Structure 1
Amino acid sequence: MASACMGDIAILEVALRNRMDRQLSLIALEQAGTEDWYMAGLRFDDRTQRQIREAWGHLTIQQKKWHTHGHLVAALTFGFWRNLLENGGAIHARWPDEGSADYENDLWRKGIVKSFPGGRRHAADANAKWTRNYALNIVKTVHALRNRVAHHEPLVNGVPLPGENRRITLADAVRACFDLAMILDRNLYSWLMDNSKMKLVLEHEPRSIE
């Protein structure tokens, strides 16, 4: 099951980062005249800036000179994109000019929301309001599943959600993967429905032992 999850989530991660990268590029182009959003002076919090620096440090000299944008985006983690859907944290923490990032107004409303063209309909079908937190809840569930299987943790008793002191069933975690596909791209959702290994393996999900 872990192998099946990693295969499907890898596809979802690429779709998510490509969508969000495109919207960040458009925001940066409007505000700073460049599509290289990581160089455009956007108000990223300290955590986001640290993750960008770490990704930059993983690039080779050639990658830093040629096609840097694509290489940098590929080096950023799933958690990086999830974090951009949160509120935003401190900027220059513990410095005299300390401030706070506002991802709701500076990122989400300025374009990141367009990364999820199917979001509003998905929320309406669930009798919920389409918000940044709605998208975040889906993405962070997929991220939690991804980390669970990547770290070789058991899935038999479900997937714990970091910071929430609760766990969800494996079936619910897999459902979040399909939810993410739906809000990103309906064609991707249809493809995943027809080709997902998770669906096949889940039918043989092991049950917890009492």
Structure 2
Amino acid sequence: MNDARRSTRAHDVPPGKVIAELGFGFWRYLSSRRHHDDLWVPRLHTAFRPGTDRRAVDEPVRRLHELRNRVAHHEPLLGHDLAARHRDLLTVARLLSQPLHEYLHAHTRSANLIATRPH
């Protein structure tokens, strides 16, 4: 169990630790349709470029979450379109921040590894 859950008093846990220990599943569902009115409309949309539609975030994040689950369960990825998932990652990064997108695009080796993998 992580430190944030183990603590019995909120002031024992540094605020950043709570956020850092949230699982990907938590983040994945923030942009889902069920949270459109209570999260997306009032606040969450402000984390993304102005005018970003919730579905433009939710769909790539859903696909990335599915890939993450396959990896976590040690399932083979041979039949998966990893190049498309890499594009999903860059799409979400661009919607969050152009500098983040540029940094990831410039520093990741994923695209080269995907392009040279055996088929």
TM interval, short-chain normalised: 0.7 to 0.9
Q: Which amino acid aligns with 1:80?
A: F
Q: Which amino acid aligns with 1:110?
A: P
Give 1 or 2: higher strand fraction. 1
Residue in structure 2 matched with residue 178 of structure 1 by the alignment: 90
Q: Which has the larger radius of gyration?
A: 1
Give the Cα–Cα distance (whole angstroms) in 2 for the partners of residues 136 and 78 of structure 1: 13
Distance change in 2, residues 1:115/1:148 (3 Å): same
Give the secondary structure class of the aligned counterpart of 2:31: coil
> Gaps spanning 5+ residues in structure 1: where?
1-53, 89-102, 121-129, 159-168
**Is 1:71 aligned to residue 3 of structure 2?**
no
Residue in structure 2 matched with residue 145 of structure 1 by the alignment: 67
Tell me the C-alpha RMSD between the 2 structures.
2.4
Residue in structure 1 matched with residue 5 of structure 2 by the alignment: 58
The ranges of structure 1 where at least 4 consecutive aligned residues each deviate by more than 3 angstroms after the TM superposition are: 54-57, 59-62
User: What percentage of aligned pairs have identical amino acids?
Assistant: 29
Deviation at 1:113, TM superposition (A): 0.5
CA contact (8 A) 2:4 2:18 kept: no
Give the secondary structure class of the aligned counterpart of 1:113: helix
Deviation at 1:75, TM superposition (A): 1.8
Deviation at 1:61, TM superposition (A): 5.2
Deviation at 1:56, TM superposition (A): 8.0
**Is 1:115 aligned to residue 47 of structure 2?**
yes
Give the Cα–Cα distance (whole angstroms) in 2 for the partners of residues 87 and 78 of structure 1: 17
Distance change in 2, residues 1:66/1:56 (3 Å): closer
Aligned residues: 119
Give the secondary structure class of the aligned counterpart of 2:75: coil
CA contact (8 A) 1:85 1:136 kept: yes
**Is 1:81 aligned to residue 27 of structure 2?**
yes
Give the Cα–Cα distance (whole angstroms) in 1 for the partners of residues 117 and 107 of structure 2: 18
Give 1 or 2: higher helix fraction. 2
Q: TM-score, normalised by structure 1?
A: 0.50
Q: Which amino acid aligns with 1:105?
A: D
CA contact (8 A) 2:4 2:13 kept: no
Give the Cα–Cα distance (whole angstroms) in 1 for the partners of residues 95 and 18 of structure 2: 25
Of 70, 78, 83, the match for 1:156: 78
CA contact (8 A) 1:59 1:72 kept: no
Question: Superposed, which structure 2 residues align to 1:40-55 within 5 Å?
Answer: none
Q: Which has the higher contact order (CA 8 A, sep 6+)?
A: 1
Deviation at 1:68, TM superposition (A): 4.0
Give the Cα–Cα distance (whole angstroms) in 2 for the partners of residues 56 and 79 of structure 1: 18
